[in-house]
Structure 1
Amino acid sequence: MRFRLLTVPAAALGAAAALLSPTASQAVGPPAAVRGCDPLAPAECLLPFPNDWFTRADPSTPTGRRVAFTPATLPRNAAGVPADPTAWNRSDGFSPGSALIVQVPGLDLTATGAAPLTDIGRSLAADAPIVLTDAATGERWPYWAEPDSNATRPDRRALLIHPARNFREGHRYLVALRSLKDSDGRTLTAPEAFATAAGHRLPRTHPLYERQRELTPVLGALKHSGVGSKSLYLAWDFTVASDRGLTGDLFSLRDDAFRRLGSAAPEFKVTEVKDFTAAQDPRIAREVSGQVTVPSYLSLPGGLPGSTLLRGRDGRPRSLPGNTQLAFFRCEIPRSAFTSPSRPSLYGHGLLGSRNEVGAGNVKAMAAEHNFTFCATDWIGMAQEDIPVVLGALADLSRFPTVPERSEQGMLNALFLGRDLIHPHGLTADAAFRTPEGRPLLDTAHGLSYDGNSQGGILGGALVAASKDIRRGVLGVTGMNYGLLLNRSADFAPFQQVLDGAYPDKLRQQVVLQLFQMVWDRGETNGYAAQLTDRHQVLMHIAYGDHQVANAAAEAEARTIGARIVSPALTPGRSPDRTPYWGIRPVTTSQLPYQGSALVVWDSGTPSPPVTNTPPTEPAYGHDPHSDPRNSSAARQQKATFLTTGQVIDVCGTLPCTAAPTP
């Protein structure tokens, strides 16, 4: 089963287009009179990004900072609609996975010697032209740099600097660009404003006085770490959001909901039971559908698409008395459960899909082969019914918080379904989850598992991190940080039409993607990665050359969570990287079984993915292997063993793992 959303309904595209003025034009560059833009990089108001110039001191936050965007500093869409900064200004810093964005006229990264995706280790060289440094520890941070390959004008081409592993939560970072070269090898001259601010002390009346006052400590700290100002092209600093700032909304509503629930099982209702003969379905004996009642923390009745979190005066999510919503679920019970109780597991569906994906052939095969009952609920916020809202959010920055905030409610819905799966008075107490003789079909004694694919892997890490019931999770064909993924995904093509219509300037579009990520962190793994493996274990399965979820995003996730890569991962020479899987500690097949979080690469023979921020597209990149790992019986064996024991076993005979292409 493929999880790519190949088409977007015409009506939904039309609704998104209606948000834009058909004759509106988008001005290039910031208006000269806009107050608050960083004068050091005049190409676009929010550049360089992320940037503490756009924060203010706030002693009430863990970082001591608070984002302070204004409607004037945020990008307007093509219709000229100003964006509401409220959702962003709740943050006490920027995304831990944010790309750094700057525009450098005439830059040639190859001549400059900047570290590309294929040689991340070069980013830590003593003479690296781009330096990222933790201001507190002095630690140099790994990255790769690339030009925006989607740019249509050289003078509006972004330089993108991606952290190879997420920045540390709550930490401040220093950025230095030095000795940058053009294609002829000539050193680029620093922007006039930066050269002035970095030079002699300015009088209070000078227009750059305030900027110099903030820049001076940055330059001093860089000099202390060995980066002098003589060769600098540009320098700035930024603060990463704290753990509380990233996870506070979800954990707050989770804790409130489960406090209200106490020791009881969530209220549920079975609405349909389908029993199948072996001839009808040799793997699944019973399909059960129903609904779980969940406290709603959303602003619209029943948590309808387009909702955002309802907040109290303290800014925290709150649920009004009696405000609930129904989480509809579907469970697949294997035939083996009628002989021996099956292990309960939540299943996370793919891109803008539904709970019905739990009935896919590979999920049924996993259930039947290894005696799991998989149950799924729609991941609201990123479910099929949310497609029009997602399109509208891409067209208007102010609407975007509806996506991650409703996704957080979707996670709570899944957590309540999970509690019902293992509670003695939950689903197992209902006749639908018992044999005709009354024996339970669920083994509730061994806890709860999670298995998700594609979007279910991208959002699933946040769910696992938030759950107090899930012990182990499998994140299939996964990655994190949609701000990194979208440019690199073949799935995004229909949505790109909307984004191009709303924000046609490609430099501004890159800023918009990272602004999306700042609030998306609260509803996907990127904001939870630093603590994902504190109390949980995860097994990451990726498809080499995946057309839909970029391998680069999975590798950044593995580095961040400390997952080890099962080695050999690929046959020698298969990867274009100078050091394949740089920065990810290997665990060799001779060391298996391994008890811990791990990454396993499944190779179907697809060509290596692009090293640019563009998607692999057929036919040049051949078969899309996105669905291949989950359709491999060996991969399912490895997943099942991990979910039941926590051990990563060798299922590939000491060789790199391969998966047959799925028709």
Structure 2
Amino acid sequence: MWRRILLVALAVLAGAAPPGAVTAAGPRPADGLLPFPSDRFTVADRGSPTGRRVHFPAGALPANVAGTHIDPAEWNRQDGFSPGTPILVHVPGLDPVASGIAPVTDIGRSMRPDAPIVLLNTRTGKRTPYWAELDAHAAAEPGRQLLVIRPAVALSEATRYAVVLRGLRDRTGRSIPAPKAWDFTVASRAGLTGRVLRMRDDAFAALGRAAPAFTVGQVTDYTAEQDARIARQVRGTVAVPSYLTGAGGPGSRLHYGTGGELPVASGTTYAADFVCNIPRGVSARRPAHLSLYGHGLLGAPTEIDAGNVKDMAHRYGFAFCATSWIGLSAADIPYVTGTWSDLSSFPSVPDRLQQSFLNFLFLGRAMVAAGGFEGHPAFRDGQGRSLLNRRGGLHYDGNSQGGINGGALTAIAQDWTRSVLGVPGMNYSTLLQRSTAFAPFQQLLDRSYPDKADQQVIFGLLQMLWDRGEANGYAQHLTTRPLPGTPAHQVLMHVAFGDQQVSPAAAQVQARTIGARLHRPALAPGWSDEVTPFWGIDRIRAYPYRGSALVVWNSGEAYAPPPTNLAPAGPRYGPDPHEFPRAQPGAQMQKATFLLTGRVIDVCGGAPCP
């Protein structure tokens, strides 16, 4: 998969326009947007839940090397900024260590009375924890090196925050002037989730209690010699109302009709692909448990053919069904690669991700509804009896991107209440540069938007739209305060210590936000580089535990990642443990028990896992 992505990226690089246009004399776009975010770039709007509306003027957003500015139109639909926004400011000469600024390894320092940065909720008057770092990608260009302040827990929706810097020092310890305080407004619940909720409610109102239409295209029965774990694979498509323009392929956008604020059905049907594996050993007397599966970055539903997924299916009798995360699936690789040359095309990615959420929900309904999959011969035995235990309910298990997007999907799900999020996190603006998987895209970004300050502003801008299609925009309603018409959910997070693709720091932010409790001891003594490991995350006090949980899995070969926005690339960080948790028998037992009973059990004997 990564070879294919790299080849596409290199092809785009080869055809990119030469650099030059943006380096002409005059103010750079990022400079005009700093500090970011700021209510300087909002206007009053009485019809908005926040009372504000984002307003970036034409030509205000960064330009690529061809001189084309990012089109602000989609950003200007927002009623505020991301609840996980990177907070950006340029402070010439700043030394974070001399200033006592809290790093990612000491988040607790951000709450000290004399902390040099204060992130204040103006509604409650309470401070918000964070960590801050100078952009390590701009270390060779101090004049373009921004200070990046990252909330350690999601910022409250529809709330104004003030940012105060004080007592700053340079590397010699001398005081340096601090920027003036500024404020910004966080987007509302409706601004973050309203589009996909409209799509869900509209589509299911038309569907009622029925199963959606589906087509089975291929059924493959395996002998035990061919596959000792899977007896049958079923492939097909589910008919889902499309809320996208045109045929709904890469580059399509949400269909808003005539001047509307919320998507409307386009009148066409999206044929969402699916792949289901029925494990060996299930029968009409012992039918398979039902679970959706979420694949990884730019992957495909056939990830359920991975050995670890087959192992869990066979050991615990799960029939896993998967569909594509359209917007970030294998078929999207050329389009996603091309967006880094002109980010005006990026809005298609979160737009199609929202359609993918609906696709997953319809696939799930086909799995559990009367007259759905259970009635088709592909899901029945030779005597015509169903192999699916639809009365046992539906579940969700996803890894990597399936863990990240799965948090958002779970927050809107009505047909299941328990999800396992494998190697998850939230907030792509934090994740991207901390991931080895982003390396080919960083090359494209460097080519098209070479200014380092521009790049950090770009990550903040992308997060404003990405919130609609990943857990960062939904986490505050994932386990408590459920969204309208939605049950409360329970989540089990499995994190890989030293993960080189999905930063564990982003998983900790999610755990704090959703109130997940931590299995302790999480790590053996000496493994963590944090002053207070897992600061702000309460421990599980007794097992079995019936809340949401975070369990850290340590391969024993990986090491803590850099304490900056750099990826843990190279031999000093050991082998990538990204796929380690899902392959552990104990982890699979814990997942299966949780999905089927809602109980989190200790599979590590009171010690770190494994």
Q: Same fold (TM over 0.5)?
A: yes
Partner amino acid, structure 2, of 1:69: F
| d(CA) in 2 for partners of 1:29, 1:398 | 24
Partner amino acid, structure 2, of 1:90: R
1:23 Cα shift? 4.7
Aligned twin of 2:151: 163
Match among 80, 84, 96 for residue 97 of structure 1:
84
1:481 aligned to 2:427?
yes
Is the 1:13–1:391 contact (alpha carbons within 8 Å) kept by the matching residues of 2?
no
| d(CA) in 2 for partners of 1:523, 1:433 | 31
Match among 141, 150, 162 for residue 128 of structure 2:
141
How big is the alpha-carbon RMSD for the aligned residues of Structure 1 and Structure 2?
A: 1.4
Match among 19, 37, 43 for residue 56 of structure 1:
43
Match among 269, 292, 298 for residue 346 of structure 1:
292
Partner amino acid, structure 1, of 2:358: L
1:150 aligned to 2:137?
yes
| d(CA) in 2 for partners of 1:486, 1:135 | 30
Match among 263, 279, 296 for residue 334 of structure 1:
279
Is the 1:29–1:44 contact (alpha carbons within 8 Å) kept by the matching residues of 2?
no
1:474 Cα shift? 0.5
Aligned twin of 1:381: 327
**Bigger mean CA deviation after superposition, 648-657 or 76-85:** 76-85
Measured at CA, do residues 583 and 30 of structure 1 come closer, stay the same or move farther in structure 2, by a change above 3 Å?
farther
| d(CA) in 1 for partners of 2:313, 2:24 | 54
Residue by residue, what CA displacement relative to the aligned partner does 1:499-550 show, whole Å, maximum 9, x if unpaired?
1111101111000011011000000010000001131111000000000000
Aligned to 1:150, the other structure's residue is in SS state: helix
Aligned twin of 1:542: 495
Residue by residue, what CA displacement relative to the aligned partner does 1:588-633 show, whole Å, maximum 9, x if unpaired?
4xx0110011000000121111111101112110111000100001
Percent of paired sites with the same residue: 55
Aligned to 1:493, the other structure's residue is in SS state: helix
Is the 1:29–1:45 contact (alpha carbons within 8 Å) kept by the matching residues of 2?
no
1:495 aligned to 2:441?
yes
Is the 1:12–1:387 contact (alpha carbons within 8 Å) kept by the matching residues of 2?
no
1:596 aligned to 2:544?
no
| d(CA) in 2 for partners of 1:545, 1:86 | 39
1:26 aligned to 2:22?
yes
Aligned to 1:470, the other structure's residue is in SS state: coil
Is the 2:42–2:54 contact (alpha carbons within 8 Å) kept by the matching residues of 1?
yes
**Bigger mean CA deviation after superposition, 133-142 or 81-90:** 81-90
Match among 90, 98, 121 for residue 108 of structure 2:
121
| d(CA) in 2 for partners of 1:236, 1:248 | 28
**Bigger mean CA deviation after superposition, 472-481 or 68-77:** 68-77
1:299 aligned to 2:299?
no
Aligned to 1:459, the other structure's residue is in SS state: helix
1:188 aligned to 2:169?
no
Aligned twin of 1:240: 186
Aligned twin of 1:649: 601
Aligned twin of 1:460: 406
| d(CA) in 2 for partners of 1:117, 1:292 | 44
Measured at CA, do residues 282 and 23 of structure 1 come closer, stay the same or move farther in structure 2, by a change above 3 Å?
closer
Measured at CA, do residues 29 and 480 of structure 1 come closer, stay the same or move farther in structure 2, by a change above 3 Å?
farther
Match among 580, 583, 586 for residue 628 of structure 1:
580
| d(CA) in 1 for partners of 2:454, 2:463 | 14
1:642 Cα shift? 0.5
Aligned twin of 1:207: none
1:5 Cα shift? 2.5
1:371 Cα shift? 0.6
Aligned to 1:345, the other structure's residue is in SS state: strand
Higher gyration radius (CA): 1
| d(CA) in 1 for partners of 2:85, 2:2 | 26
1:29 Cα shift? 8.5
Residue by residue, what CA displacement relative to the aligned partner does 1:231-258 show, whole Å, maximum 9, x if unpaired?
xx42100110011000011111111111
Is the 1:291–1:329 contact (alpha carbons within 8 Å) kept by the matching residues of 2?
yes
| d(CA) in 2 for partners of 1:29, 1:61 | 39
Is the 1:17–1:498 contact (alpha carbons within 8 Å) kept by the matching residues of 2?
no
Is the 2:9–2:441 contact (alpha carbons within 8 Å) kept by the matching residues of 1?
no
Measured at CA, do residues 422 and 30 of structure 1 come closer, stay the same or move farther in structure 2, by a change above 3 Å?
farther
Is the 2:56–2:76 contact (alpha carbons within 8 Å) kept by the matching residues of 1?
yes
Matches within 5 A, 1:223-622: 233-301=179-247, 303-312=248-257, 313-321=259-267, 323-338=268-283, 339-534=285-480, 535-588=488-541, 591-605=542-556, 606-622=558-574
Is the 2:212–2:365 contact (alpha carbons within 8 Å) kept by the matching residues of 1?
yes
Partner amino acid, structure 2, of 1:26: V
Partner amino acid, structure 2, of 1:407: L
| d(CA) in 2 for partners of 1:396, 1:526 | 24
| d(CA) in 2 for partners of 1:494, 1:11 | 9
Measured at CA, do residues 582 and 525 of structure 1 come closer, stay the same or move farther in structure 2, by a change above 3 Å?
same
| d(CA) in 2 for partners of 1:489, 1:633 | 26
Residue by residue, what CA displacement relative to the aligned partner does 1:178-207 show, whole Å, maximum 9, x if unpaired?
1110011111024xxxxxxxxxxxxxxxxx
Partner amino acid, structure 1, of 2:577: P
1:397 Cα shift? 2.0
| d(CA) in 1 for partners of 2:3, 2:586 | 29
Partner amino acid, structure 1, of 2:301: R
1:24 Cα shift? 3.3
Aligned twin of 1:178: 166
1:66 aligned to 2:11?
no
Residue by residue, what CA displacement relative to the aligned partner does 1:37-79 show, whole Å, maximum 9, x if unpaired?
8xxxxx7111101111100111111111110012221111111
1:259 Cα shift? 1.1
Partner amino acid, structure 1, of 2:315: E
| d(CA) in 1 for partners of 2:365, 2:169 | 57
Residue by residue, what CA displacement relative to the aligned partner does 1:268-321 show, whole Å, maximum 9, x if unpaired?
0111111111121111111111111111111122x1111110112222111123
Partner amino acid, structure 2, of 1:153: E
Residue by residue, what CA displacement relative to the aligned partner does 1:615-655 show, whole Å, maximum 9, x if unpaired?
11121101110001000010000000000011100101110
Match among 618, 634, 640 for residue 592 of structure 2:
640
Is the 1:271–1:289 contact (alpha carbons within 8 Å) kept by the matching residues of 2?
yes
Partner amino acid, structure 1, of 2:2: L
1:13 Cα shift? 4.0
Is the 1:16–1:388 contact (alpha carbons within 8 Å) kept by the matching residues of 2?
no
Partner amino acid, structure 1, of 2:528: S
Aligned to 1:469, the other structure's residue is in SS state: coil
Aligned to 1:8, the other structure's residue is in SS state: helix
Aligned to 1:155, the other structure's residue is in SS state: helix
| d(CA) in 1 for partners of 2:57, 2:401 | 32
Partner amino acid, structure 1, of 2:544: P
Is the 1:293–1:325 contact (alpha carbons within 8 Å) kept by the matching residues of 2?
yes
Measured at CA, do residues 619 and 54 of structure 1 come closer, stay the same or move farther in structure 2, by a change above 3 Å?
same
Is the 1:30–1:44 contact (alpha carbons within 8 Å) kept by the matching residues of 2?
no
Give 5+ residue unaligned stretches, structure 2. 481-487
Is the 1:393–1:403 contact (alpha carbons within 8 Å) kept by the matching residues of 2?
no
1:412 Cα shift? 0.8
**Paired positions, count:** 599
Aligned to 1:369, the other structure's residue is in SS state: helix
1:7 Cα shift? 4.7
Measured at CA, do residues 184 and 325 of structure 1 come closer, stay the same or move farther in structure 2, by a change above 3 Å?
same
